[in-house]
Each structure stands twice: as C-alpha cells, then as structure tokens.
Homo-oligomer: A and B are copies of this chain.
C-alpha cells in the first residue's frame, strides 16, 4: 500500500508595511511555479501571508485595522493564486486576516487544484494581549484584533489523505494536535509568524527555533501525522521573525528544512500510509488512551475565554 504525495513548504521573507497584496501574491505565485516544477502537488504558505504582520501595531480606529483584512476570497488581489492553482494543477494553503460581517478571524484555507476552497480554519489559540502596551519594542495584539475561531479544527479528505490545519501559536498546545489526531489527520498545514524576540521573557529568545521544531515534531510524532510548517521570516519592519520552515514526518523527523529567512521553497515526498503504520502500532488511541481519566483537560478552571474587543 502506498499513498504518495509530493508537498512543499513555501516560506515568505519579510513583507514591508507598504508592500501591496499584489506584490506578496506575485512572490507566492513564483513559489507555486517553483514548487510545481519540483513535482509538488501542494504548497503551504504562512499565516497572514498577504501583508506585513500588522498585529505588531496598536491601532485605535477600526477602519485602520480593517484595512488589513480580506472581505472576500478570492478577491482581485488574490485571484492570481487561484489561477495559478488551476494552471499548475497544484493545491495550496493560505493564511490571511478574514472579516466576515462584524467578525474578524485569523484564518487559513486549503484550496484544491481546481481552485475550490476545500476547508477553512480560524485560529483558536490567539497569543499576545488585548491592550496597548507601548513599552514593547513591538506589540502582539492578536487577542485584540481577532475573535477566537469558531470552526473547531476541521480535517478533510483531500489529495489522497486527511488534512487538517492550525496556525502559529496553536502548535505550542498539544490539545491542538490531539484534536486533529482524533480525527485521523494525516497531514497538518501550519503557517506562522514568530518573532525571534519575546519581550516578556527575552532570556528565551535563543530557543525560538528549538521550540518551534520541538512543538511541531512532538505534534507529528504523538499523533502520527505529517506536518508542513511555513514561516514568514526575516527582518520585517524592525521585527526579526524566525524561519525554520519544515516538513516533518509522522516519526517526528524533519525531512525538509528551510535554511534562509527569505522566500524559500522546500519539497519532500510523503506517503500517507506511513501514518497508518504508526497509528496502528505505536499510537493506537482505541487501545491506549484513557479518556475517562482526562476530565481535568476540559475543566473550565484550566483556561479562560475573553473575547476580542
């Protein structure tokens, strides 16, 4: 048995504040062409891939915030991505800021080679803070600008496997991975924008790459799933973002790794049947998980929900 697929992580270098969406999209189309030429049937782009990482700035007026959001997908600006998918016969995963009526989300979509949206995910684990904190060299206002996602962690049958999505900070929470593992995810697409510098605990800056890979590798191994993690990387508006985009096997091994902090495509051959081998032999949930003892995991005392402003 074998269900092979060739896949790509498309890391984006920095996007300047004044770089228009059309420019970022053109860079992404070039990477789709490169990935396709190397045999990839799927290319994964980062979180909030169309613009600079705008939650680093406090904006008091809503129109200034909303200018960073997409009200439709595709739009005139993003249509070239969908056109390239159809032209090249390649699927893609894209992160962007989504406005839906009065609601705003940090969103990712999976788009098939026919240009149809196959699945949508809205980020659940929003990091950062709600209020203006001008002491920081840059802010991280995701809790202010986005609502918590309301679509769960959807997993869909596509491209010969079962594909889920999560976004950036989601990857540090093992619950994220398990919720997809319990749906038999075989591949998780994941975009991130991760600053090298963490103002609250700068002693840990040296560990950002390690923690990025540790989180993705553990999530892959413990759930027997492939992971494609794609970074927005490099020095963006004074904020250095880590790279380290990677394709990770269900063994937890990194099988492709970006080595720059710029636009970079890495490609790997995967086989969805490897997931089944691990799930059957090592992580047989039905045999070994003990959900009746896990009640504390869902105790409201173990978390708190505060809506975005």
Contact = CB atoms under 8 A, between A and B. Distances in A.
Interface of A: 124-127, 148, 152, 169, 172-175, 177-179, 182-183, 198, 200-201, 203-204, 207, 210-211, 214-215, 217-218, 221-222, 251-253, 277-278, 281-283, 285-300, 302-305
Contacts of A204: 251, 278, 282
Contact of A286 (B148, B203, B304): B304
A183 B173 CA distance: 16
B295 A252 contact: no
6 contacts: A173-B289, A204-B282, A211-B251, A214-B214, A291-B297, A297-B298
B179 A294 contact: yes
Nearest to A300: B291
Contacts of A215: 218, 221-222
B175 A289 contact: yes
B282 A303 contact: no
Given A172-B222, A222-B173, A297-B175, A289 B277 contact: no
Contact of A302 (B221, B278, B285): B285
B293 A300 contact: no
Given A222-B173, A253-B207, A292-B305, A281 B201 contact: yes
Given A200-B282, A286-B304, 20 more contacts: A148-B290, A174-B174, A175-B289, A175-B294, A179-B294, A182-B297, A201-B277, A201-B281, A203-B277, A204-B278, A207-B252, A217-B218, A285-B303, A286-B302, A288-B303, A289-B302, A291-B297, A291-B298, A291-B299, A291-B303
A124 B222 contact: no
Contacts of A198: 281-282
A211 B124 contact: no
Given A303-B291, A305-B290, A296 B214 contact: no
A288 B127 contact: yes
Nearest 8 pairs between A and B by C-beta?
Answer: A289-B303, A218-B218, A174-B174, A201-B281, A200-B281, A291-B303, A291-B298, A286-B304
B174 A207 contact: no
Contacts of A207: 251-253
Contacts of A297: 175, 178-179, 182, 291, 294, 297-298
